[in-house]
Structure 1
């Protein structure tokens, strides 16, 4: 569920046959990877950065040069950007909350759908016969995550590799669902924002107050996590 941009950056560095900059040393490659990661994170988070200006600011900051504009003007621009982003997030949060509530209400009417006290909705697609994991168990799952409109934001199926993690180290909705699922089960789960990423969202793909839809397939259950040394 959680992925960083660094592997992408490293892959981009070493898979390209031609570079626009000199990357002949490890130090240059590492520096490029850091810059790439910063850019990828900004894109993921929906931060509208002008690349040439950001690069120039980075260069001036690293060299210790005098800023290209008065500090007061730069701070004012940052404050405006923050205000604009907050206003945009507020509009998105209100829309997502309204649309998500309507989606969950409609999904709750689907045959076989059950609702827990927390507001989690689930539909058993395949009934497993195995044991159920506990909060401290490690599990192996395949999953697909979409927004209510069907937009897919993540899928272990597409990557061709199931994921392993400890149950109590993921978002609340997954924690609640997994401990109810017998091994071998496949469920469709709809999470209200409070059981997913809440008011903050998760990057550009998952907005604030976003309802999330998952298909979760519990493939295997491991033992409890080893004690810390």
Structure 2
């Protein structure tokens, strides 16, 4: 399977070779949905809230855990015991895209190429390197809290 983000192989924001290989293999899983942008996801738990309520400006309270493809956890609201509240336009592009399809109560696992994550810059803390593909488990606790 050819992944959409491979169309831009010379951009400074491209996914690392290791990340690309990992995402390509992950895309072959039967329970993973691959979008044209390169975002991949799988539904872990379906919510009961109405669909279509989350826009780029809609505040959402979310729990999440972010990992590198080697399983290293780099951030977790779950471990802190407190969800965070933000609008989709305030986060990485992969989250923005996923949240537009989610509803209150949904828990998804997101597989995000660097092009939709931190790109060629990595994270300010250095825990996410330039080109890293990312894995997030994310749950929309409340919409417009």
Q: TM-score, normalised by structure 1?
A: 0.54
Q: Secondary structure at 1:137's aligned position in 2?
A: coil
C-alpha distance in 2, partners of 1:184/1:165? 16
For residues 61-105 of structure 1, give each alpha carbon's deviation from its aligned partner in whole angstroms, at most 9, with x where no partner exists.
xxxxxxxxxxxxxxxxxxxxxxxxxxxxxxxx9xx6111001101
The Cα of 1:166 is off from its aligned counterpart by: 1.4
Q: Aligned-residue CA RMSD in angstroms?
A: 1.4
Which residue number corresponds to residue 210 of structure 1? Answer: 132
C-alpha distance in 2, partners of 1:109/1:128? 25
The Cα of 1:129 is off from its aligned counterpart by: 2.1
C-alpha distance in 2, partners of 1:126/1:196? 23
Alignment match of 1:200 (pick from 95, 110, 121): 121
Which residue number corresponds to residue 19 of structure 2? Answer: 100
Which residue number corresponds to residue 189 of structure 1? Answer: 110
Structure 2 unmatched runs, 5+: 1-11
The question of 1:152 aligning with 2:73 is answered yes
Higher strand share: 2
- More relative contact order, 1 or 2 (CA 8 Å, 6+ apart): 2
Higher helix share: 1
Which residue number corresponds to residue 8 of structure 2? Answer: none
The Cα of 1:136 is off from its aligned counterpart by: 0.7
C-alpha distance in 2, partners of 1:137/1:206? 27
Alignment match of 1:116 (pick from 35, 39, 46): 35
Structure 1 segments of 4+ aligned residues over 2 angstroms from their partners? none
Asked which structure has the greater CA Rg, the reply is: 1
Structure 1 unmatched runs, 5+: 1-92, 224-229
The Cα of 1:111 is off from its aligned counterpart by: 2.2
Q: Give the number of equivalent residue pairs.
A: 129
